[in-house]
Copies of this chain bind each other. A is one copy, B any other.
Amino acid sequence: MRADAKRNRDRIVDVAREVFREKGYDAPLDEVARRAGVGAGTLYRHFPTRDALLDAIMQSWVDRVNEATEKTLAFEGSDRDLLVGWLETYAGLISLHKGGPAKITSAMGDPDSPIIGKCQVLAQASQRVMDRLDAAGALRPGVDAVGVCKLVGGVATVADNADQPLSTVRPLLEVVADGLLR
C-alpha cells in the first residue's frame, strides 16, 4: 500500500471512531469523509461497506474485551455477583456507540457478517466466564454462551434504542442472571 493511501486509511478510521461516538453507528459517511479530508470515493475504496469500517474501528476494542474478561475471571466473590458483574461488563462493551448493541447482537450468529470476527471474540469471552461458573456447578443445564450474549444484547439494545443509560436496565440483568443460575 502506498504511503499516502495508508495515511488516508488511518485518518478515516480515526475520524470515523470520533464521528460514530458523537452521532452513533449510522452517522452520515459523508461527514466522515469530509472531516478526514478525503473524497467520498476514497472512503468507499478503503471500506466498501459501513460494516467494513465498523470492523476496522473495533480493532482496538478487542483488547478492552480481553482485559475485562481477565478481570472477571479473577473476581473473588459469589457466583451471582460474578455473573451479574460480567453481564454488566458485557452490556457496557457493546454499548460504546449508539446502535452498537443492535449491530453486534444481530451479527452474533450470522457467519457472513463482516464483523463476525469481533462477535467471536465476545462469544469466546462469554464462554470462558460460563465455563468457570459451570465448573463451580453454578449454572442451570443447557445454558450456552452465545445465548447469553443474545440475551444481554437484547437488554442493551432496549436501553440503547430508548436512549437510556445502561444503569436503568440493571434490574433486568439481575433477572437474567437468576434465570441462568441453578
A-B contact pairs, 22 of them (CB 8 A): A102-B102, A102-B157, A102-B161, A105-B161, A105-B162, A140-B178, A142-B171, A147-B171, A147-B172, A151-B155, A151-B176, A153-B154, A154-B154, A154-B155, A154-B156, A154-B172, A157-B157, A157-B158, A175-B179, A175-B180, A177-B179, A179-B180
B-side contacts of A176, CB under 8 Å = 151, 175-176, 179
Q: How many copies does the complex hold?
A: 2
A136, chain B: closest CB distance, angstroms: 18
Contact B161 A106, beta carbon cutoff 8 Å = yes
Q: How far is the CA of A168 from the CA of B140 in the complex (A)?
A: 19
The reply on A150 being an interface residue by CB < 8 A is yes
B-side contacts of A157, CB under 8 Å = 102, 154, 157-158, 161
